[in-house]
Structure 1
């Protein structure tokens, strides 16, 4: 059907989106048989960047040009040697449609399209793993410096007393530093999943 004559495209939403656009964003459940590594990669990257797996999945698969390029390289038995497990993802209707279309057009298994789309995260994971190692080393140094500030605070209290303006300001700095280091620790902890990939 011609897009112009498609009633779903003509029915505009008050915000300007067509009904077809809104339906494309609708969430659906889809089950795939892919490798444990792909499943873990999705979970770790989503956790590390603080995004939903649905958003990550949609981002990886909705790029039709890249999806078609992957599909064009896959054979019907592309997943034959890959040990797989079943996993259900929540994805957008548009993403599922793109997968099914590429699968039909190129004769590529849908599971293989998902597996190889997720494998594109490999380069990102490698880069983030290196950054995570740097963050861990820097956090250790920050914690050492925090300990020095606390030692200086203890010395200041002993020498000047708690009510001294110098001590009060240093205590404030130490309190702020404590909260900041806790935030840095939480950030580094979020990246721990990268170590196992």
Structure 2
């Protein structure tokens, strides 16, 4: 490779390096808010359903600066009703917290209100996940019935061919794997039942 080409590669690599400021922005910090219980539940439910950390959900919401500014403009100089709200500490990135604090201060919008209304943006996703949860329950019933049929077939193979027959052995292996998969699916659907009780007023 020629020297000029090596220089271009070096410049490209160096340009892609994160700065110290970027790295500090990704640091995790704790922040406390006063939010409705439904709002807190929404974060927990979505995190569990999608298998992502609550910090990632927060950062996604708070780093959408334009939407945050629009909400802050609407909430400017308003009083946020703290009645029946719960104090809750969350982990989030320093970057997303700085965005929230700066926009809240600039527009004189209550920080807790910005967080509350930002989380309301998750409601369509939760509604979609609730429908998927119901479908999963239906499919789990079908899968369970299919597994039961497989067990009957295995019993028949063992009875007619003997438990040591190669075909019976392969079915035993298949049903063993199937059992683990069914258990995993059942546990996942069971964990998802929390979404059935969720109501965001």
TM-score class, shorter: 0.7 to 0.9
Q: Deviations over 1:104-158 (max 9, x none)?
A: 2222100000000111110000000000100011001100110111011112211
Tell me how many residue pairs correspond in the alignment: 185
CA distance in 1, matches of 2:72, 2:34: 17
User: What is the root-mean-square deviation in Å for CA atoms of aligned residues?
Assistant: 1.9
1-structure distance, mates of 2:190, 2:39: 21
Specify every segment of 5 or more residues in structure 1 that has no aligned partner in the other structure, as ranges.
1-12
TM-score by length of structure 1 reads 0.87
1:1-197 to structure 2, matched below 5 A, reads: 16-77=17-78, 79-80=80-81, 83-197=84-198
Distance 1:61 1:45 in 2: 16
Deviation >6 Å, runs of 4+: none
Does the CA contact (< 8 Å) of 1:78 and 1:112 recur in 2? no
* TM-score where L is the length of structure 2: 0.85
Work out the CA distance in 1 between the residues paired with 2:117 and 2:83: 11
Question: 1:15 deviation in Å?
Answer: 7.3
Which residue does 1:6 correspond to in 2?
none
Q: Distance in 1 between matches of 2:144 and 2:79?
A: 48
SS at match of 1:28: strand
